[in-house]
A = this chain, B = another copy of it.
Amino acid sequence: MTTLHIDWQPDKTSSVPIYQQITNYFQHAIASGDWPMGAKLPSQRKLAPQFGVNRSTLITALDELIAVGLITSNPGSGMAVSGNHWSSLLAEHVNWSQYVKAGQFKPNSHAIQKINQFETDDVIRLSTGEPAPEQFPRVLFQKAFDHLGQHLTSLNYTEPAGILALREQIARHLQKVGIQTQPENILITSGSLQALQLVSLSLFPKDATIYTEAPTYVKSLQVFQSANTHLAGVPMDNQGMAYWQMTPPTNGSQAIMYTIPTFNNPTGIVMSQARRQQILQYAQEHQMPILEDAAYQDVWFDQQPPQPLKALDETGNVIYFGSISKSLAPGLRIGWTVATKPVIDRLTDVRMQTDYGASSLSQLVLAEILANPEYDTYQANFRAVLAQKATAAQAILHHYWDDGIATFDAPTGGFYLWVRLADRINIKKLFDLATAQNVLFNPGNIYDFKPNQYIRLSFSFESTERFERGIQILTKLIEENFPK
């Protein structure tokens, strides 16, 4: 295989960065077929002077080309053009990302990709929205497994909307929060994230505007943004979304509201009873459908929160999303959507074309567990432990951070503390320093529509001891890098 002859140099007067010009040149040469698969590249030592660039600029470009798979690098044989067309497609895709239209999924934010990758290693995870392993009700699961082991006669596809026995249990479970519904108004999904994905694929008209609390969990996802819609943030006060600050679109595009009224993620704010009524009224007047995300509904500390919007909804205008991920086990990947029949039918139809249903095994096990009277005992205990951990976490923060590092409000449920750091602290830098020391937290920016000075700390997953160790490490980093 001959080595490629290259007579090209970047344009140093251009506004395009040099390394970017180099990657563009390589991509074009490979995509056009000018450089055949397997062709060898000159060494870095030769390439840098040939391009008239310094070595580090060249390496930046080559690293990117290797990362997207356009070229390969072997210690023995040097660099070569990759023989993999998917890689060039991918490179093309990455290159085209600014033009990519709805349905072509955007990549996750860098911070979230980093957190996703880290969350499986041995780190102090103040980032994750998961229940603590210590709270896992092994005996409840063991009983369900035993029953299934004896009675399971097949494990085939389920009813399109999910196993009836589970939808019946969900309907019964929802009565406790005031929602009167029937199994035919319920769709079982693979977590409530899939439900959001289905709604955006199935119901959102092009160019719809989705109004949502600022900050909000969905801002950290690409699910709505990838569906040709616009997310618009609405401020909150301590009663919840300040809906009167919405500016419904005047260009005739459809407006839809997405809200986490109970233990808003990340702020923990609970929408008051009065605000719930007002928002339902407002949405009705403005013909605005509502998506109600109730993922944290069941994880209150001392007092049950106000009823969901869905319980007060007399028009069928609210689509309600519930989940077992926060109150029992995210690994089951089970959520439920409650809506009027035509909406459920449409979502179910798209769902059958997306993944042909949620795990039957997860559905059967969850139906068994929800039917077990001991589930209520488990829930009460789960909430009590969570409330204790929340109290302990707040005491730790007050101890280490009250003196000019941070402020926060006390939550009444959910998994998180939403913590405002002092202005002198550069959160991006703190994030990088902390991950290098195996402490993860979520920067507040990923949830917001504008830069902010917050971080989200989860007290649910780690033990109180490990939470404190994490805060000690963060405190040391802050004192060393951002002194008063």
Contacts and interface: CB of A to CB of B under 8 A. Distances in A.
Contact of A116 (B145, B160, B361): B160
Given A104-B206, A203-B93, A317 B153 contact: no
Contact of A90 (B142, B203, B226, B287): B203
Nearest to A342: B69
Interface in A186-218: 189-191, 193-194, 197, 201-206
B153 A138 contact: yes
Nearest to A91: B342
Interface string A139-173: 00110011011101111111110000000000000
A351 to B, nearest CB: 9
Contact of A355 (B84, B193, B201, B319): B193
A interface bracket (residues with beta carbon within 8 Å of B): 35 or more
A155 B361 CA distance: 13
Copies in the complex: 2
Interface stretch (A128-136, A303-311, A407-415): A128-136
A90 B190 contact: no
Interface stretch (A243-251, A268-276, A329-337, A433-441): A329-337
Nearest to A220: B353
Contact of A349 (B68, B113, B194, B287): B113
A225 to B, nearest CB: 10
Interface stretch (A3-11, A95-103, A386-394, A416-424): A95-103
Interface string A80-118: 001111111110110010000111110110000100110
Interface string A40-81: 000000000000000000000000000111000000000000
A315 B67 CA distance: 17
Given A315-B37, A353-B221, A354-B193, A136 B117 contact: no
